């Protein structure tokens, strides 16, 4: 087993935190809280490291004289500008909010907005790509719920509204619950695999 130390650490920390959840001992609980606190800090540091990696990647791309190097330069510039402004003033300072409101929000919500087209396009092609009852039920449901959500200008169709909410409140809830329970089982199994050292994503 490579890197026995890291494996030991992973397992030990995991087990302590897990026990901290289930064992009603004050000590364990507070220990769990401290450990999770550290984990949160580490995750935050990891984000910075990740951004370091982002910078590194785009630095290398931008020095490489190619078409997309311009993009990488733009990325680096905007990144450092934002770091500077938001860092110098606070995240909620008007200048920071100006960047947020006039660059980030427009782009991000536009990205979501084009999904309104791309998703419709995907559904149109879905039936050709995958013609089976699953897809048929899927598309039919989508259409019903869509038209049941809002009135067509002057004309309102209450029946559609009721059908929509029935779909959303009965069968959808049933299915979603089944999916969530299954996922929960998957999550537990995956976590356990890590805590017995079978999976070692941390370079082990």
Among residue numbers 92 through 111, which ones bind other proteins (CB under 8 A)?
A: 92, 96-111
Q: Which of 25, 63, 162, 175 binds other proteins (CB under 8 A)?
A: 175
State how far the Cα of 150 lies from the Cα of 170, in Å rounded to an integer.
Answer: 20
Q: Which residues contact 11 (CB under 8 A, 6 or more apart)?
A: 195, 196, 197
CB of residue 27 vs other proteins: minimum separation in angstroms? 15
Residue appearing with tokens 């899927």: 138
When the beta carbons of 65 and 189 are compared against other proteins, the nearer one is 189
When the beta carbons of 159 and 183 are compared against other proteins, the nearer one is 183
Tokens for 119?
A: 């998703």
Residue 69 near residue 63, CB atoms below 8 Å: yes
Helix (H, G, I), strand (E, B) or coil at 68: coil
Q: Which of 25, 63, 71, 162 binds other proteins (CB under 8 A)?
A: 71
Backbone angles phi, psi at 156, to 5 degrees: -110, 140
Q: Give yes or no for residue 75 binding other proteins (CB under 8 A).
A: yes
Q: Which residues contact 60 (CB under 8 A, 6 or more apart)?
A: none
Contacts of other proteins in 138-157 (CB under 8 A):
138-147, 149-154, 156
Q: Which of 25, 63, 162, 170 binds other proteins (CB under 8 A)?
A: 170
Contacts of other proteins in 13-32 (CB under 8 A):
13-18, 21-24
Question: Please, how many CA atoms are within 13 Å of residue 24, restricted to the half-sphere of its CB?
Answer: 0
Size of the site for other proteins (CB under 8 A): 160
Q: Give yes or no for residue 67 binding other proteins (CB under 8 A).
A: yes
CB of residue 2 vs other proteins: minimum separation in angstroms? 7
State how far the Cα of 90 lies from the Cα of 108, in Å rounded to an integer.
Answer: 22
CB of residue 80 vs other proteins: minimum separation in angstroms? 7
CB of residue 136 vs other proteins: minimum separation in angstroms? 8
């Amino acid at each position: 087993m490579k890197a026995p130390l890291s494996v030991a650490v992973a397992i030990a920390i995991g087990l302590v935190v897990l026990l901290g959840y289930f064992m009603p001992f004050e000590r364990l609980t507070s220990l769990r809280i401290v450990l999770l606190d550290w984990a949160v800090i580490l995750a935050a540091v990891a984000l910075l490291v990740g951004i370091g990696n982002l910078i590194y990647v785009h630095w290398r791309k931008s020095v490489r004289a190619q078409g997309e190097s311009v993009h990488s330069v733009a990325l680096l510039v905007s990144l450092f500008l934002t770091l500077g402004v938001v860092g110098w003033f606070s995240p909620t300072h008007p200048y920071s909010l100006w960047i947020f409101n006039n660059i980030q929000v427009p782009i991000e919500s536009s990205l979501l907005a084009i999904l309104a087209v791309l998703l419709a396009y995907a559904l149109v092609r879905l039936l050709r790509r995958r013609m089976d009852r699953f897809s048929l039920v899927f598309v039919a449901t989508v259409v019903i719920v869509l038209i049941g959500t809002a009135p067509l200008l002057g004309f309102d169709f209450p029946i559609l509204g009721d059908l929509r909410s029935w779909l959303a409140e009965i069968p959808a809830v049933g299915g979603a619950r089944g999916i969530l329970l299954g996922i929960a089982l998957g999550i537990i199994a995956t976590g356990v695999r890590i805590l017995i050292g079978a999976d070692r994503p941390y370079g082990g």
